Amino acid sequence: MSVNMNLNDDALQHETEPKGAIINGNKPIDQLEAANRFILAQAHEKMHDNRLWDLRKKRDAQMHLIPEWEELRQLASDIKEHTLEHLAYYLEIFEKNAKANGIHVYWAIDAEECNAIAIKIMKDHKTRTLVKSKSMLGEECGLRHAVEKEGIIVIETDLGERIQQLDNEDPSHVVVPAVHKSRTDVSRVFTKTLNAQAGNNDIHYLAETQRETNRPYILKAEAGMTGGNFLVAETGAVVVCTNEGNADLSANTPKLHIVTVGIEKVIPKLEHLAVFIRLLSRSALGSPITQYTSYFRGPRQQGGEMHVILVDNTRSTRLADKQFKAGLKCIRCGACMNTCPVFRRSGGLSYGSTYAGPIGLILSPGYNKHKFRNLPFASTLNGSCANVCPVKINIHEQIFTWRVVLAEKGELSFTKRVMMQAAGKILAHPSLYRAAISNADRALKYLPHFLVYNNLNTWGRQRDLPFTPKETFHSWYERNYMKKGKVHE
Amino acid sequence: MKVGLFIPCYMDALEPEVGVSTLKLLERFNLDITYPFDQTCCGQLMTNTGCQKEAAATEALFVKNFAYFDYIVMPSGSCTHQVRANFTAIEQTEDVKHVRRNTYDLVEFLHDIIRVDAFPWASFPYKVAIHYNCNALRGLRHASMSELREPYFSKPKDLLKKVRGVEFVDLERPDECCGFGGTFSVFEEGVSAKMGQDKVIDQYKSGAEYVVSADSSCLMHQKGCAQRMKLPLKYVHIVQILNGDLQ
């Protein structure tokens, strides 16, 4: 494969959009296969890498404007850890205060129950159309599809999420769901689904088309749905952060507002909210704050209703697992995805999971160890993710720990298992090891074959092989030192 | 000061000259250096794949070879990190703890332990880009990290500044992973190679003549990418400059 160093915009607009991982029931997702297809779409890959690296750079710039940045991260981490230690306590306070505000509160043990509760509320209110703002919990629960099955029209109101809905694709990123698409890709989707002019890929035209076609639904919808970035226990309020104001349209236009939110989103007090608001958008997009930070403390007057569904869906199990509990601190900013060199080159859809990128590597196997067993290997363990995480989740250490857990549970691929058994044996025995690399020809045959137990074609497909020296360090040492009596042993 | 020298397995077989430079450089400082003859590998291969059971005997062998030294030194940040942070497949005896506590990468050893203040024998009048291995950077803290709000420092740069003529050039993405990642380089070949290609393009655009690192493993991968792309970059281990081997 040749490497094109000068891909221009024209190449991007003419290139076919790469699609995500092949999903086949419970079969392990082959992230690498999808990533390789993503990389073959050279212009898309480059666009994706540049867009997300740009977010990382903006995030760094914001960080440098805040002298107390590292203290803020520590504070945010401490608040989350404290809350998780006393999760039941703060959830009950939230419930009590929310109810006092006139909010209906429900508890859902899993996705199914969450969807069933939401559907029942909507049916009780004779809902034909639901306008929905972006929610990762909604994605996690497959909520949109479940509601659509009941004959209710669901309209996503976030631009990126709407693009993905119309293209029948999951969001590829928790904050920028259509970041893998070019404007021509979006134009193609809108031409097919919204009757947009074919070939018009002007971004203003595209945004306007989405707005004009979405607004009528917002006006006539009987129900609105949002997720929740934070639940403030002290005040019983739900906080939603967006950049398009679409959550406010979804929540405020129809009389019925339903919130679906994970139980880990609760924070104790209003004063703690400021810490997270300062970190969230700076980490996510490199902007000081989201355009809209909406604080829903109760139903609207004049017949409004507000319903909050608190969803567990594996969270209490994670909470009991010391090794992976810290993953619950996540505030879904996506900073780990933006900085991850693997994510930027693979695309979020290659992970075949609601949560992609570094945070996805540690959350996904918690939902299904078998299906997501390959994900913790889609990492070089470089650690950049943990450094950008605003709540200091030890992401790369958890990726490492997942590998150990998966190996123990027999979830390593056959190749990896056999190779590591052989390597473990040879490397523990100096004589076997020396035999394996006894001369340069053998060494080249075994290395990287021997070290990484794969065939040379894999190394050599896009990289030249290392130069083969005449002798190993070991034999050089033997020749120059042992025979001259320089050895101290 | 009894120093045990560990030469990583890939270096032993593929970059023996880096091992030789390391030994020769350390000999200049009047240390009592031993290369234990029965050494093999740090076990990172198995450990990073999650195979603790398979890594245990290799870790035990390492400890057996090196328990009797005051310091264990190796020209690799990555292997050092493996010993220091991840030698957990075996029971944590006093020997194991001693080895883990006293294992140093060459840069750390020169910079923090014996505190070398000059390399008068070395000169290197070239434009140099530094590559930080991720374990050396984020695990051992060879330098400040671009993701954190912290004062700038760089141990490899501090050492290279003591060599006549070295001129530094900056990369657009100074501490982005190059995609080697051990077994990642072959198990996840497509992404690994793409990351490597992007890395060497960044190095090429920086105007560097040489790329220097405290880890040969990343360099092997980058060199392979650069050669395939026919980019005129040269890759050297930091010890080769510090020992004055390349003038």
In angstroms, the Cα distances linking B79 to B8, B20, B34 are 7, 18, 18
* Token pair 């890594």 in the structure block, residue: B55
- Minimum-distance CB partner of A488 among B32, B48, B55: B32
Please indicate, yes or no, whether residues A309 and A328 belong to a single structural domain of this protein: no
Please indicate, yes or no, whether residues A397 and A465 belong to a single structural domain of this protein: no
Work out how many CB contacts closer than 8 A connect A with B.
247
Residues facing residue A226 across a β-bridge: A259
- Confirm whether A71 is domain-assigned: no
- Confirm whether A73 is domain-assigned: no
Please indicate, yes or no, whether residues A309 and A228 belong to a single structural domain of this protein: yes
Chain B residue numbers touching A412 (CB-CB < 8 A): 49-51
Please indicate, yes or no, whether residues A158 and A247 belong to a single structural domain of this protein: yes
Contact between A384 and B138 using a beta-carbon 8 Å cutoff: yes
B240/B22 Cα distance (integer angstroms): 8
CATH architecture of the region B127-242: 3-Layer(aba) Sandwich (3.40)
Contact between B225 and A448 using a beta-carbon 8 Å cutoff: no
Please indicate, yes or no, whether residues A111 and A133 belong to a single structural domain of this protein: yes
Chain A residue numbers touching B62 (CB-CB < 8 A): none
What angle do the packed helices A42-65 and A270-284 form, to 10 degrees?
Answer: 140
Chain A residue numbers touching B53 (CB-CB < 8 A): 407, 424
User: Number of structural domains, chain A?
Assistant: 3
Domains B2-113 and B127-242 share a fold: yes
Q: Read off the CATH number of the domain in which A26 is found.
A: 1.10.1060
- Confirm whether A2 is domain-assigned: no
- pLDDT over 70 at B117, yes or no: yes
- Confirm whether A128 is domain-assigned: yes
Question: Which residue of chain A has the CA closest to B230?
Answer: A464
CATH number for the domain running over B2-113 = 3.40.50
Q: Going edge to edge, which strands form the sheet with B167-168?
A: B167-168, B127-131, B210-213, B234-237
Please indicate, yes or no, whether residues A177 and A227 belong to a single structural domain of this protein: yes
A110/A372 Cα distance (integer angstroms): 19
Domain final residue, candidates A313, A340, A357: A313
pLDDT at A457: 61
At position A303, the amino acid (one-letter code) is: G
pLDDT at A444: 54
- Minimum-distance CB partner of B54 among A406, A423, A458: A423
- Confirm whether A213 is domain-assigned: yes
Contact between A428 and B224 using a beta-carbon 8 Å cutoff: no
Listed in sequence order, the DSSP H helices in A368-472 are: 384-388, 395-408, 414-427, 430-436, 440-446, 449-452, 456-460
Contact between B173 and A461 using a beta-carbon 8 Å cutoff: no
- Minimum-distance CB partner of B148 among A345, A387, A453: A387
Domain final residue, candidates A265, A293, A313: A313
pLDDT at B14: 86
- Confirm whether A4 is domain-assigned: no
A272/A234 Cα distance (integer angstroms): 10
Which pLDDT tens digit goes with each residue over B184-219? 998 899 999 999 999 999 999 999 999 999 999 999
Question: Which residue of chain B has the CA closest to A69?
Answer: B149
Contact between B51 and A412 using a beta-carbon 8 Å cutoff: yes
Q: Give, as one character, the DSSP assignment of residue B56.
A: H
Question: Which residue of chain A has the CA closest to B62?
Answer: A428
| C-beta separation of A470 from B201 below 8 A | no
Q: Read off the CATH number of the domain in which A154 is found.
A: 3.40.50.10420
Mutation target for A interface from B5, B12, B175, B231: give the one with most A CBs within 10 A.
B12
Question: Which residue of chain A has the CA closest to B9?
Answer: A451
Range of the domain at A420: 414-484
Phi then psi dihedrals of residue A293, to 5 deg: -125, 100
pLDDT at A484: 59
Contact between A427 and B183 using a beta-carbon 8 Å cutoff: no
Contact between B194 and A476 using a beta-carbon 8 Å cutoff: no
pLDDT at A302: 83
Question: Which residue of chain B has the CA closest to A343?
Answer: B191
Nearest to A101 by CA among A248, A253, A210, A259: A259
pLDDT at A450: 45
Taking 70 as the pLDDT cut, the residues of chain A under it are: 1-7, 438-457, 483-489
- Minimum-distance CB partner of B12 among A403, A408, A472: A472
pLDDT at A416: 87
Please indicate, yes or no, whether residues A386 and A461 belong to a single structural domain of this protein: no
- Distance of residue A378 Cα from the nearest chain B Cα, in angstroms: 7
* Token pair 């014996």 in the structure block, residue: B114
- pLDDT over 80 at B98, yes or no: yes
- Confirm whether A228 is domain-assigned: yes
Please indicate, yes or no, whether residues A459 and A359 belong to a single structural domain of this protein: no
- Confirm whether A67 is domain-assigned: no
- Minimum-distance CB partner of B227 among A69, A380, A464: A464
Ranges of each domain in chain B: 2-113, 127-242
Domain final residue, candidates A351, A374, A408: A408
Please indicate, yes or no, whether residues A371 and A262 belong to a single structural domain of this protein: no
pLDDT at A415: 83
B135/B178 Cα distance (integer angstroms): 12
Please indicate, yes or no, whether residues A198 and A294 belong to a single structural domain of this protein: yes
Please indicate, yes or no, whether residues A242 and A117 belong to a single structural domain of this protein: yes
DSSP class per residue in A456-489:
HHHHHTTSPPPP--SS-HHHHHHHHTGGGT----
**CA A47 to centroid of chain Cα atoms:** 19
Please indicate, yes or no, whether residues A135 and A264 belong to a single structural domain of this protein: yes
B134/B86 Cα distance (integer angstroms): 15
Average pLDDT (B168-180) is 97
**CA A447 to centroid of chain Cα atoms:** 35
Question: Which residue of chain A has the CA closest to B181?
Answer: A380
- Distance of residue A69 Cα from the nearest chain B Cα, in angstroms: 7
